[in-house]
């Protein structure tokens, strides 16, 4: 079983930045892709960004150029640097792993961390 713990969410003003972190523990296969999804109220959960162990990435069009995903394979951690945040980024952000590709959703989820972008 894999456990994912997210941190770094909070309240930020439009145009601001936040950095989310996720740490994976348990029977974690280092070859899994790791990623971030988000779910806003009344909307479906959607991919934000994902990264393979080799560094290949996949970003939602809405965040390209503003968000950067990175990972530390030795520590099984993944980070999401979010810059120039917009109010529409307000959502619960979930860490995800368990898939081999950045275009596939893994079966393991964290508990989520709230990101609120508001003035």
66-105 per-position pLDDT tens digit: 999 999 999 999 999 999 999 999 999 999 999 999 999 9
Whether the per-residue pLDDT at 63 is higher than 90: the answer is: yes
**How big is the CA angle at 79 (ends 53 and 57), to the nearest 5 degrees?**
45
Whether the per-residue pLDDT at 20 is higher than 90: the answer is: yes
Class of residue 49 by CB neighbours under 10 A (exposed 0-12, middle 13-18, buried 19+) = buried
Nearest to 50 by CA among 108, 110, 101: 101
Whether the per-residue pLDDT at 11 is higher than 90: the answer is: yes
Under DSSP, the state recorded for 43 is S
pLDDT of 27 reads 84
């Amino acid at each position: 079983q894999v456990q994912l713990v997210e941190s770094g969410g909070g309240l930020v003003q439009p145009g601001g930045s936040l950095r989310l972190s996720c740490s994976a523990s348990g029977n974690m296969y280092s070859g899994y892709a790791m990623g971030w999804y988000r779910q806003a109220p009344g909307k479906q959960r959607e991919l934000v960004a994902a990264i393979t162990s080799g560094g290949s990435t996949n970003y939602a069009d809405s965040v390209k150029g503003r968000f950067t995903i990175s990972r530390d394979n030795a520590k099984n951690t993944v980070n999401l640097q979010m810059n120039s945040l917009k109010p529409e980024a307000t959502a619960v952000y979930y860490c995800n792993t368990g898939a081999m590709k950045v275009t596939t959703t893994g079966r393991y989820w964290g508990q989520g961390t709230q990101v609120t972008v508001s003035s």
